[in-house]
Amino acid sequence: MTAHPSDAIRAARSLLFVPGDRPDRFAKAVAAGPDLVVIDLEDAVGAADKDAARENARAWLAAGETAVVRINGSRTSWYEADLDMMCEHGTAAMVPKAEDPALLERLARSGISVVPLVETACGVSNARELAMADGVQRLAFGSIDLAAELGVDPTDRQALLVARSALVLASAAARLPGPVDGVTTALTDRRQLVDDVTHARTLGFTAKLCVHPSQVAAVHDATAPSADEVAWAQTILTAADPAGSATTVDGEMVDAPVLSRAQRIIDQTARA
């Protein structure tokens, strides 16, 4: 939690939401061990408690603690006050229903690292432009809101496959880390959570939004390379041609892209 916000965001495997109107839970969220805590001023907080939630976030940051803050949308009456607080502390902002790259760049000009939460059809359509915007460190997927807009079941992977793939491709094109997958609402179903993470990981996601402290450890386990993947990567790197020329290992062609994947797996293992 002490790394620079942009570095921490890019390396994170887990981002744990905590409601901004529950400051008693802030320290508990940190204690759960997520890579990042996200203080939520938006969906988790009712209108009557928005100002108090912002002050809770301000107090937490003023005390020297770190967090990403999910601010309220730019069309709400709370946005400007949220933005002032963000500028005051220079923390990272998760931007809900991100659709407009210009809005993200305004935040970046204020020295704020940005995590666009892509959760609308317009946002998915603009994913590449959002990823390319100045100050954006990583894309996150708001699967629940998008599914509601599309009128589909948020657990239907086929229905959201195109959207997830769009974020992965946009992230790669912008040289960003793999995006952050949306929440699993089955809070106590570890098998479902791990299955969701595994599915997202096969598409190119490398992190997960969490909504309960109990989800964090399972997410870390599920995002780590498997023993088979590590063994494969070690074999590839050991057998690689020092001159960088293409070779074969166990009948598999090994060239620069294969070496890059193997090294990435070993790097992920070192961070786990």
DSSP letter (8 states) at residue 104: H
CA distance 171 to 45: 30
CA distance 165 to 169: 6
145 is in an annotated binding site: yes
In the numeric block, the tokens 């870390």 are attached to: 220
DSSP letter (8 states) at residue 47: G
User: 87: Cβ–Cβ under 8 A, 6 or more apart, which residues?
Assistant: 110, 111, 112
CA distance 250 to 132: 39
119 is in an annotated binding site: yes
DSSP letter (8 states) at residue 137: -
In 3D, which of 14, 116, 33, 102 has the Cα closest to residue 71?
Answer: 116
Report yes or no: 271 and 220 within 8 Å, Cβ to Cβ. Answer: no
109 is in an annotated binding site: no
Q: What is the dihedral of CA 36, 130, 96, 76, to 10 degrees?
A: 140
Name the binding residues for Mg(2+). Answer: 119, 145
Residue ranges of the annotated binding site for substrate are 70, 119
Residues comprising the binding site? Answer: 70, 119, 145
